[in-house]
Each structure stands twice: as structure tokens, then as C-alpha cells.
Structure 1
């Protein structure tokens, strides 16, 4: 039976053998394309073309529910195989799931009517949850069921955003997007707390991993989930002193985590410093949001972009660069160009957060071009790995 399963798996085209392959590649290509289109719209280079919800609504929605959710899908569909010991989604079912994601992206971009776009858009997260939940249920792995809850909550946040589009309600759209953002940050806080110290210890050959502080991990997770609830209720749309303490405490907690993980040698390993820098952006963004909420004259959009571009985008780029190597049977030595990709992304977030205050057009343009180049470099370097078989001849 094992030989038969291996033969069948190896007969599948490599791109459809495991979830990280199509979704990491498609997510990276979409990230590069979407930000270039957004820059074109900002500069008035796309007259007469309006995606669903207008360009601003499209940008807010698609960078989360298009780009980020694709990467989450690739990560979870690959991780569930390790969690359960069962073969991951592959072949035609994986292809169908990817086509569903693509159909939603095209519906948004081409300005499909909301009654057509909404069902396609809202079908993807539950379909993803179904495939993951089926694997978990087959081995009764209850401890990973919370992943399904996160996907359900992301679906509800997406439904709130789509309701805002359908009814032209800006508040609902922003509430849904911000709620989804904090759900993503909660997921990244959970995963980052597990893998960043582990990767640091393994990557530098240290004898022991920095021990976790469960009380801190749980506090950061619960606090971030609280921000998702407050955002869904519309209570974080405008800076208010009432939420400043929560932002500040979370920012300080992440800084404490980062301080405990520090190691002077990590700067010689691109796969490590990229992770630590991305996590630093999350902490700084939360402190910046605390300052904006206290009325210190800081526009909330600046720390929000530090969070989304530097924190979420940076962690995604660093993680997919590492995961793709391991799951294609390669040593954890990324192509040399990826160090430039990591540097470009961090240059881009610096331009988006700091340079725009003095040179708005130049800052936005530089930020968009750096982001697009970073993910284009990933697609260029890793595309052949993702659509070709594993180098060790194994399925997956």
C-alpha cells in the first residue's frame, strides 16, 4: 500500500503535490502584482478601471484576504501533514482549491457584481477549513482544532467586509479588514513564539532553546484576539485613549519576547535576521498605535503599515523562504538573492512609515517598488523549486 501511495503521489505534477507549492508561489506573485497595481492607481495611471469596492477597498481587502490568506492556506495544508502523519491535500482537490482562490481574486480585480463575488470569496476559507478539519478529525487531533476556529473567525471577518462592500458601508469594510488583521497577527504571534526561538537555536547551533514563558505567550495571544473583537465592533477605527494601554502592553510584551530571543550571531544568517526584524516591526507598530491612540500627533496609518508591511509581510517572506527549502528536500541555505529580498522589504517599510512624512509620493513609490521587488525575487528564485520535484526524489 505504501508503495502504491508513493507511485500515485509521484504521478501528480509537482506543483500540485502539496499545498505550499501553489499557494506560496501564487501568493508571492499576487503580492508583487497587487502592490504595483495599487501604486498605479494612486498615481492616476489606471483611469477608467475600478475593481470591486474601488481601489482603496480592493487594496485593504485583497492584501489580507487575497495575499495573506493564500500563504496561510499553503502553510496549514503543509503543516497538517506533519501534525497528523497523513498525506496532505494534493492533485485535483488541491488544484480545485487553488482555482477557487484565483476566481475570487479575479472577481475582485475585474469588478464583478457583489452578488457574484461574495459567494466565491466566502467559499474559500470554509473549503480550506474543511480539508484541514477532515485530516484532523481522522486522527482525532483535538489540540489543533483551534486552527479551524481561526479560519471560521476569518470567514466572519471577510463576511463583514463583504457586507460593507455590498451596502457601501465603509465602517463595516474597515472593521472586517482590521479584525482579520488582528486575527492574522494572533496566529503569527502563536506560530512565531514557537518557531523563531527554535529556528534561532538550530540555525546557530546553540545547545538549548530559549524557554517559553507560557504566561506571556497566552497574554499576547488573548490580548491580540481582544483587539480583533474590538475591531469587529468598530471600536479601533479611530484612535482613542481607551485602547492605548492594550496596544502599549502588547507592544512591550513582544519586545520582551524579542529581547529574550536575541543572539549576536543571528545577523550573519539571512533566514534568522529576517525573522527577528519582522517581529521587531510588530512590536514597534503596537507601540506606535499606542502613541496614536494617546493623541501624540502620529497618524495611525503609519504604525498600521509598519505592522502589515514590516511585520506580517516580513514574517511571511522569511517563513516561506525557509519552509520551501525544507519541503523540497533542500538544505536551509537560501539563494543569495533572498538576502537582497529581505533587505528590500525592510527598506520598503522604512520608506512607507518614515519617508512619506516628508516626500509622500516618493515614499509610497519606493515602498511599493521595494515590496514588489522582494516578492518578485522570491518567485524568481523559488518558482523552479516549487514547480519541480523534490531534489531527494520523495513525494510532496
Structure 2
């Protein structure tokens, strides 16, 4: 009888190979990397423009447009594709998506942004290479997700809503491609507006409509989820109305869409808010959601003041209440939740996530204030640097998790 002690099986080590074990690992890691890279460039450009501390040339297309494109079509969609490639099969009771289908999405989104930022720094071919890589990754993602709609037995309206938004996003990407080919600045304007009201906002609200009441129902005793489908339909209609008015520069009429959106989002926040004791990782979802009616209150005020005085007050303040306040805060809340749950860790907010979330609230206020103070560019630069400070510890933490095996030893 052999009594020689057998060595314990070695524990899998952290490695880049872990990224291929699940779509959220790959896409969230890429999204986190894109997040810091994009804002590092933008903060450097703002600082350079305001104080001329180091030379940074004005890129073509214009830096402000490029910032909008990168954030809306490369940074946030990396996270969105990661979430949807994970949840679509679960929503519809279908098999998980194989690795070979989501790897091209990640390569396109990461390589596309990297090349685009190199283009912004002076590498001539970067803009075009980055665009085609992003477009290829986007089409790969859409082609992977869309067939689920006709493979499922029932009808998952949240999935259809997300596919509609991603399809509009493809239209916005094509508009940006037209800009790179020499089309008029209107196409850059259209691409950015489609990215906000046709892509990012509908995807965020669709996911919130499906998941936020569900999470609250699982964590708060006696909570009654309220998520009628008409709510999502009305939201879509109002978003399309806002988008159409933006595209024809109907700023004096935006209140027609934005006041109802204010009422609708305030109702969502009120009806969904869980009363009673709740964990922090749930609270942050609804605190993030509270920025949505604030943003539409600012949009409405801006439009009404324009009607009354002809003054375009507040500038980009409403957009940044939406982007940093809602999109940024909800990103931290949702990605932290998915990361904790899918890595076998406790369902709670770690210190780095709390720091990021709280710091983002400060950054949002700074960016809103930047529109009404004399030294606008200095405040914008400070807010961009604040974004980097807020996100850096959180990105480092989740990045290590995606490179490591699950804490509970399970696959995935």
C-alpha cells in the first residue's frame, strides 16, 4: 500500500487566460481599461488646453467630439456588451455564449479605442483603424446577441429593447464613419446625440427596468416589484422625441419631451425605491437612479429658459448630470454587483467601490458647476482629473478579480 502523501492540487493562478472564461470577465476588463485610458487622454488634453503645460495638438475630428465618441461608442459599450453577452442566454433560457463568439467583440472594442487614442495623439492612421476595429467588434456583438430573439420560445421585451438600442448605436457609428470620410460636422453631432438618446440611455433604463426591482425584491422583505412594460415603451417614445428635436436643433421645444421624461423618471425612482433596511450594494443602484430625474429637470429648465430669453443656459450641465451622475454612478453600482456575484465574493460594496461611487457624486457636481463659473476650462480639467482619482482604485481592484479564479472555486 502506497502511503506517500499526494500533493494537493494546485490552485489556478491569476493570468490573462482567465479573461476568456466568461464574457463579463473579458468585456469588463476591457471596459475598465478603456475607462482609464479614455479619461487620461481627455484630462491631459483639458489640462494642456487650459494651462499649456505640455503640447497636445487639436485632433481631427475635434477633441470634444472625439471625447463624446470614445465614451459613448467604446468605453460604456464595452461594459454593456459584457453584461448583455452574459445575461441574454439567462433571460431567455438558452445555452451560454461560446468563447469564440465574444472574443472578437472584446478585441474590436479594445483595439478600436487604443488605435483611436493613438490617432488623437498624432498617429495618422489611428482614427481610421480604430473606427473599423470598433465597427467590426460592434457588428460581432450584435450578430451574436440578435439571433437569441428568434431562438427563444417566448418574447423577452427587455432583450428586444437592447437590440433596438444597439442597432441605433450601429447607425451612430456609421455617422461617425461618414465624418472620417469628410462628411459635414452634422454627422458628428448626429452620432453623439444618437449615442446618448438612442443607445446608452435606452440600454441603461432597460437594464434598470428589468433588474433594479428584481434585486430589491430579493433583498428587502415585503418589497413589491413594479415594472410594467408600458413604462419602457413610453420611455422609448420620449427618448426618440428628444433625439429628433435635438437633431433639428429644436432646443426651444425640448421641454415637450423633457418634462414628461422628468415626470416618468421621478415616478420610476419613487416607485422602485426600496423602503426599509437594505444593503449598501442595493442602495447605490437607486442613488444612481436619482440622477436621472435631476438630469431631465436640468434639460427642461434649459429648454424653457431658451424659449423665454433665447439664452442657452447651463451648456453641457444636463448632459453631464446624465453621463457622470447616472451613467457613471450606475456603472460602478452594477459592475460591482456583477463582479462580486460572479467571482464568488460576498454581495457587498468593497471600500474601493464606495470611494469611486462617492467621489463620482463630487465630480458630477464639479462638472455641472463648470458650466456656470468664469474659468470653465479649469473646472472641466479638475473634474476630469477627479474622474481618474475616483475610478483608479476601483479599476485596479476589479481588474485583479477578472484575472483571478473565482474565490469559491467554481468555473466561470
2:399 counterpart (383, 387, 392): 383
Mapped to 2, the partners of 1:275 and 1:56 lie a distance apart of: 29
What is the deviation of 1:118? 3.7
Residue number in structure 1 paired with 2:300? 290
Contact 2:325-2:360 at 8 Å conserved across structures: yes
Q: Does 1:121 align with 2:134?
A: yes
- SS for the counterpart of 1:357 is coil
What is the deviation of 1:150? 2.3
Residue number in structure 2 paired with 1:316? 331
- SS for the counterpart of 1:294 is helix
Gaps of 5+ in 2: 1-14
Contact 1:126-1:151 at 8 Å conserved across structures: no
What is the deviation of 1:89? 3.6
CA 1:370–1:43 in structure 2 vs 1: closer, same or farther (change >3 Å)?
closer
Residue number in structure 1 paired with 2:280? 270
Residue number in structure 2 paired with 1:178? 193
Residue number in structure 2 paired with 1:198? 214
Mapped to 2, the partners of 1:46 and 1:172 lie a distance apart of: 31
- 1:91-146 CA distance string (max 9 Å, x none): 45433331221221122112244554443232221110112234554445653344
Gaps of 5+ in 1: 1-10
CA 1:257–1:353 in structure 2 vs 1: closer, same or farther (change >3 Å)?
same
CA 1:215–1:151 in structure 2 vs 1: closer, same or farther (change >3 Å)?
closer
Q: Does 1:217 align with 2:217?
A: no
CA 1:18–1:253 in structure 2 vs 1: closer, same or farther (change >3 Å)?
same
Deviates more, 1:316-325 or 1:239-248: 239-248
Contact 1:281-1:307 at 8 Å conserved across structures: yes
Residue number in structure 2 paired with 1:364? 380
Residue number in structure 2 paired with 1:306? 321
Mapped to 2, the partners of 1:81 and 1:355 lie a distance apart of: 43
2:251 counterpart (236, 240, 252): 240
2:291 counterpart (255, 276, 281): 281
What is the deviation of 1:272? 2.6
Deviates more, 1:107-116 or 1:149-158: 107-116
Contact 1:179-1:228 at 8 Å conserved across structures: yes
- 1:213-267 CA distance string (max 9 Å, x none): 4433321232113334444xx22xx46222212111101110111112234546x
Residue number in structure 1 paired with 2:89? 81
CA 1:12–1:285 in structure 2 vs 1: closer, same or farther (change >3 Å)?
closer
CA 1:340–1:117 in structure 2 vs 1: closer, same or farther (change >3 Å)?
closer
- SS for the counterpart of 1:312 is helix
Moved runs in structure 1, 4+ residues, more than 6 A?
A: none
Residue number in structure 2 paired with 1:72? 80
Larger Rg: 2
Residue correspondence of structure 1 range 120-199 to structure 2 within 5 A: 120-139=133-152, 142-143=155-156, 144-167=159-182, 169-183=184-198, 184-199=200-215
Residue correspondence of structure 1 range 220-231 to structure 2 within 5 A: 220-231=235-246
Mapped to 1, the partners of 2:355 and 2:270 lie a distance apart of: 25
What is the deviation of 1:192? 0.9
How many residue pairs end up in the alignment? 380
Mapped to 2, the partners of 1:342 and 1:257 lie a distance apart of: 21
What is the deviation of 1:168? 5.4
Contact 1:305-1:352 at 8 Å conserved across structures: yes
Mapped to 2, the partners of 1:81 and 1:375 lie a distance apart of: 30
